[in-house]
Amino acid sequence: MHSFGLENLTWGLGSTDLLSQIFDDFATGVTIINVNSEIVFYNKAQGRIDNIEPEHALGKTLLDLYKVGENTTHPALLSIFSCKPLSNYPCYYHTHQGKLVNSIQNIFPIMREGALVGSIAFISEYGQALDNFEAFQASYKPVALKKRASKPLGLEDVITEDKAMLANLDIILNSADSLSPVMLHGEPGTGKDMFARILHNISDRKDAPFLAINCSSFPESLLDGVLFGTEEGAFTGAKGKPGLFELADGGTLFLDGIHSMPSSLQGKLLRAIEEQKIRRVGGTEEREVSLKVLSATTVNPREAVSEGSFRPELMLKLGVVLISIPPLRERPVDIPLLTASFIRALNSRLNRQVESVATDVNDAIQGYLWPGNVQELYYTLESAISQLPQEEKVLRLSHFNSSLFADVLRGASVPVAEAETGKAPKYEPVRTGILLHRAAEVERIAAALEAAGGNAAKAARSLKISPQLMNYKLKKFCLKKKITVHVERVFNPMGPQKRQSGDGNGTSQTGHGL
Percentage of the chain modeled with pLDDT above 70: 73
Are 208 and 190 within 8 A, CB to CB? no
Distance CA 155, CA 363 (A): 29
Identify the residue with better confidence: 179 or 417.
179
Number of domains in the chain: 3
Q: Give Dmax (Cα) for the chain.
A: 88
Angle made by CA atoms 114, 115, 116, in degrees to the nearest 5 = 125
Asked if the structure places residue 439 within a domain, the reply is no
Scanning 219-295, the segments in alpha helix (DSSP H) are 220-228, 244-247, 263-275
What's the rounded mean pLDDT across residues 85-103?
80
Of 180 and 69, more confident: 180
Mark which of 326, 346, 363 sits at the end of a domain.
326
Residue 183 sits in a domain of what CATH number? 3.40.50.300
CATH number of the CATH domain containing 33: 3.30.450.20
Q: Is the pLDDT of residue 481 over 70?
A: no
Read off the pLDDT of residues 359-412 as tens digits, 9 standing for 90 and up. Answer: 888 888 888 888 889 998 998 898 889 888 888 899 888 788 655 566 555 544
In this structure, of 242-251, 376-385, 424-433, 439-448, the range with the lowest mean pLDDT score is: 424-433
Is there a contact between 73 and 118 (Cβ–Cβ < 8 Å)? no
**435, part of any domain:** no
Q: Where are the alpha helices (DSSP H) in 351-453?
A: 359-367, 373-386, 406-409, 432-451
Residue 88 belongs to domain spanning: 6-126
Domain final position from 308, 326, 344: 326
**Is residue 33 included in any domain, yes or no?**
yes
Burial profile 125-139: b = 16 or more Cβ within 10 angstroms, e = fewer:
bbbbbbeeeeeeeee
Other CB atoms within a 10 A radius of the CB of residue 38 amount to 19
Residue 39 has pLDDT above 70, yes or no: yes
Tell me the pLDDT tens digit for each residue of 275-322: 999 999 888 889 999 999 999 999 988 888 888 888 999 999 999 999
Whether 50 is covered by a domain: the verdict is yes
Q: Does pLDDT of 428 surpass 90?
A: no
Domain boundary among 126, 158, 181: 126
DSSP codes of every residue in 456-471: HHHHHHHHT--HHHHH
Tell whether 48 and 104 lie within a shared domain: yes
**Is residue 340 located within the same domain as residue 216?**
no
Dihedral (CA of 43, 45, 46, 51) sign: positive
My answer on whether 254 and 399 are in the same domain is no
Q: Answer whether 273's CB lies under 8 Å from 290's CB.
A: no
Q: Is residue 454 part of a domain?
A: no
User: E strands within 20-85?
Assistant: 29-34, 39-42, 66-67
Same domain, 165 and 272: yes
CA distances from residue 143 to 132, 138, 212, 268 in whole angstroms, order as listed: 21, 13, 19, 36
Q: Are 487 and 446 in contact (CB under 8 A)?
A: yes
Query: Does residue 392 sit within a domain?
Result: yes
Q: What does the pLDDT look like over 220-264, one tens digit per residue? A: 778 888 899 888 876 666 678 888 999 999 999 999 999 888 888
Give the pLDDT band of residue 450 (cuts 50, 70, 90).
confident
Q: pTM value? A: 0.58
Shared domain for 311 and 337, answered yes or no, is no
Q: Percentage of the chain surpassing pLDDT 90?
A: 30
Of 384, 421, 388, 386, which is closest to residue 400 (Cα–Cα)? Answer: 384
Residue 6 has pLDDT above 70, yes or no: no
Q: Alpha-carbon distance 199 to 474, whole Å?
A: 36
End-to-end CA distance of the chain: 76
**Are 291 and 338 in the same domain?**
no
Tell me whether residue 479 is exposed, middle or buried, using C-beta atoms within 10 angstroms of its C-beta: 0 to 12, 13 to 18, 19 or more.
Answer: buried
Residue 341 to residues 158, 330, 393, Cα–Cα distance (Å): 11, 19, 16
> Based on the domain organization, do 111 and 31 belong to the same domain?
yes
* Model pLDDT, residue 419: 35
Inform me whether the pLDDT recorded for 473 exceeds 60: yes
Could you give the 3-state DSSP secondary structure of residue 178?
coil
Q: How far apart are CA 91 and CA 71, in angstroms?
A: 13
Does one domain contain both 333 and 272? no
Together in a domain, 318 and 334: no
Domain co-membership, 371 together with 320: no
pLDDT digits (tens, 9 = 90+) for 209-222: 999 999 887 777 78
Domain containing residue 342: CATH number: 1.10.8.60
158 and 277 together in one domain: yes
Give strand pairing partners of 429: 413
Q: How many CB atoms lie within 10 A of CB 154?
A: 11
Work out the average pLDDT over 44-55.
88
Please indicate, yes or no, whether residues 283 and 162 belong to a single structural domain of this protein: yes
On whether residue 449 sits in a domain, the answer given is no
80 assigned to some structural domain: yes
Residues written for the chain: 514
